[in-house]
């Protein structure tokens, strides 16, 4: 996923990297061509500080694109001090074409339903019952993606920000870092949970944005750079949006997906400051175990998440999904999105800091279903202290009552009324450092899904 709100991203990254030392890029005393077949900072006939003669207003023809890509590769090498092993094909498509591709050319009738994952996002109070998680993810990505690198095809696709196909140098440099990562370390590993996926992206996306920031800092004063496209004219790409119309997508979901791009660069910077680029290289063999470690670099690598096990206390009417793993760990970053999106904390959306999400130690969301098409979940969270647990429980109850008009029927039991996207029954119980949330269609279902412990 890429950045829709570029101004917000620039401000957020400027804040987290204020005062960072810029890597040494070397001087300009290089020969006209490398002494050997290749050299760091030189690609396909271009050194990192060579000019390219292109006009960007009418898009780039094939020759111009090849020149821009080659020089950008050389610049990424010079910053990152790593060599590309082979050239990277780059194509440019419109927003409409990207949406068409991501939705399978419309032949599938929309993204497939995923009721197991739906319950995970419902627990976070980010995607309600009026739309599925697959649909929301598809809609959000199709609106916000600016480009991507495909490890399976070894190619970069840039989604043009204008009707005239253009390349944004920021997107290109970011995606080229991914290509370099794939060539040097591989990008085909899988993550078991939502939290570990985001924490891995804290490295891969964080490094890509980190390099991009230093690239941009050199533009103008030290490097000649192609002009940035005028994003004021960006719309859907299908001609149906005005220049000023803002695209519609799930902002709470976007806050989760956006986290690696905003907080990852600061994490990568902290690693590089301690051990140089070699230490950043090592991250690809030892990813953070949680978004908590990305948000709080001092906790990497020693503070491991607590393993949470949710006992099955359901009746015969309710079953866990036949899914491996049985549950999902959402982690601190996603909990922060819940707190912020449901108006339970003040401050900047992209700070990823709140009293109700900090102090996370571990969690597990286990979805349930019955034979009548009903769904529910048990979400158990562990916290570093009882106070941390209390702050989260209070924030979650506040979200139910203040944002979703829940009524409290008795101690710890809440009902969100019909008409709200989270219309269900909830039991929210804190015991020491543990908070357990049980959700079901009705109050009677709560004990059927997870019999209360006495």
Backbone angles phi, psi at 435, to 5 degrees: -120, 125
The secondary structure of residue 127, as a DSSP letter, is S
- Judge contact between 305 and 361, C-beta under 8 A: yes
**What is the rounded CA–CA span in Å between residue 357 and residue 195?**
14
**What is the rounded CA–CA span in Å between residue 1 and residue 351?**
19
- In terms of Cβ atoms closer than 10 Å to its own Cβ (0-12, 13-18, 19+), residue 250 is buried
Backbone angles phi, psi at 160, to 5 degrees: -65, 130
Write the CB contacts of 241 (distance below 8 Å, at least 6 apart in sequence). 235, 247
| Interstrand relation of 155-159 and 90-93 (parallel, antiparallel or unpaired) | parallel
Please tell me the predicted confidence (pLDDT) of residue 330.
Answer: 98
Please tell me the predicted confidence (pLDDT) of residue 109.
Answer: 60
**In 3D, which of 37, 160, 172, 8 has the Cα closest to residue 98?**
160
Residue-wise over 327-336: b if at least 16 C-beta within 10 A, else e?
A: bbbbbbbbbb
pTM of the predicted protein model = 0.91
> Could you give the count of Cα atoms lying within 13 Å of 450 in the half-sphere of its Cβ?
25
The secondary structure of residue 46, as a DSSP letter, is E
The secondary structure of residue 420, as a DSSP letter, is S
Residue-wise over 7-18: b if at least 16 C-beta within 10 A, else e?
A: eebeebbeebbe
Secondary structure tally for the chain: helices H, strands E: 13, 12
Please tell me the predicted confidence (pLDDT) of residue 162.
Answer: 80
Q: What tens digit of pLDDT does each residue of 393-403 get? A: 999 999 999 99
Q: Beta strands of 269-359 (E only): which ranges?
A: 318-320
**What is the rounded CA–CA span in Å between residue 159 and residue 168?**
9
What tens-digit pLDDT sequence spans the chain (454 residues)?
Answer: 333 333 344 444 544 454 444 454 545 668 888 877 789 999 999 999 999 988 888 888 899 999 999 999 999 999 999 999 999 999 999 998 998 888 765 455 667 899 999 999 999 999 999 999 999 999 999 999 999 999 999 999 999 988 888 899 999 999 999 999 999 999 988 899 999 999 999 999 999 999 999 999 999 889 999 999 876 544 433 333 333 445 478 999 999 999 999 999 999 999 999 999 999 999 999 999 999 999 999 999 999 999 999 999 999 999 999 999 999 999 999 999 999 999 999 999 999 999 999 999 999 999 999 999 999 999 999 999 999 999 999 999 999 999 999 999 999 999 999 999 999 999 999 999 999 999 999 999 999 999 998 6
Residue 12 Cα distances to 175, 216, 218, 220, 377, angstroms: 20, 15, 19, 22, 34
- Judge contact between 397 and 428, C-beta under 8 A: yes
**What is the rounded CA–CA span in Å between residue 306 and residue 304?**
7
Please tell me the predicted confidence (pLDDT) of residue 112.
Answer: 85
**In 3D, which of 439, 442, 422 has the Cα closest to residue 450?**
439
Residues 119, 120, 122, CA angle at the centre, nearest 5°? 60
Residue 243 Cα distances to 92, 161, 186, 240, angstroms: 21, 12, 39, 10
């Amino acid at each position: 996923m890429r950045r829709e709100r570029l101004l917000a991203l620039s401000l957020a990254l400027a804040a987290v990297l204020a005062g960072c030392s810029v890597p040494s890029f070397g001087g300009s005393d290089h020969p006209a061509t490398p002494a050997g077949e290749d050299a760091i900072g030189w690609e396909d006939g271009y050194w990192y500080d060579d000019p390219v003669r292109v006009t960007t207003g009418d898009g780039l023809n094939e020759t111009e694109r090849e020149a821009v890509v080659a020089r950008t590769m050389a610049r990424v090498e010079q910053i990152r001090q790593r060599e590309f092993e082979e050239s990277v094909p780059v194509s440019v498509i419109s927003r409409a074409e990207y949406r068409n591709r991501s939705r399978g050319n419309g032949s599938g009738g929309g993204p497939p339903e995923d009721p197991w994952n739906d319950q995970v996002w419902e627990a976070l109070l980010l995607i309600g019952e009026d739309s599925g998680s697959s649909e929301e993810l598809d809609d959000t990505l199709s609106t916000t993606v600016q480009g991507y690198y495909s490890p399976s095809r070894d190619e970069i696709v840039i989604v043009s920000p204008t009707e005239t196909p253009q390349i944004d140098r920021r997107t290109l440099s970011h995606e080229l870092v991914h290509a370099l990562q794939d060539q040097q370390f591989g990008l085909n590993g899988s993550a078991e949970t939502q939290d570990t996926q985001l924490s891995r992206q804290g490295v891969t996306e964080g490094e890509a944005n980190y390099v991009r920031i230093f690239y941009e800092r050199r533009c103008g004063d030290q490097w000649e750079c192609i002009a940035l496209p005028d994003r004021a004219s960006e719309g859907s790409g299908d001609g149906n949006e005005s220049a000023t119309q803002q695209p519609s997508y799930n902002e709470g979901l976007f806050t989760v997906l956006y986290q690696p791009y905003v907080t990852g660069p600061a994490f990568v910077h902290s690693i590089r400051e301690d051990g140089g680029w070699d230490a950043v290289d090592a991250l690809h063999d030892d990813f953070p175990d949680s978004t908590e470690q990305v948000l709080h670099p001092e906790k990497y690598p020693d503070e491991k998440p607590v393993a949470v096990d949710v006992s099955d206390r359901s009746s015969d009417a309710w079953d866990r999904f036949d899914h491996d793993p049985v549950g999902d760990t959402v982690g601190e970053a996603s909990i922060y999105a819940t707190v912020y999106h449901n108006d339970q904390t003040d401050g900047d959306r992209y700070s990823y800091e709140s009293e109700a999400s900090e102090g996370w130690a571990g969690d597990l969301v286990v979805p349930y279903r019955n034979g009548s098409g009903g769904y529910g979940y048990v979400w158990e969270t562990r916290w570093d202290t009882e106070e941390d647990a209390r702050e989260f429980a209070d924030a979650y109850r506040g979200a139910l009552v203040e944002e979703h008009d829940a009524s409290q029927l008795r101690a710890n039991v809440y009902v969100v009324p019909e008409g709200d996207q989270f219309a269900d029954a909830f039991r929210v119980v804190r015991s020491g450092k543990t908070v357990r949330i049980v959700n079901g269609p009705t109050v009677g279902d709560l004990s059927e899904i997870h019999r209360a412990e006495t």
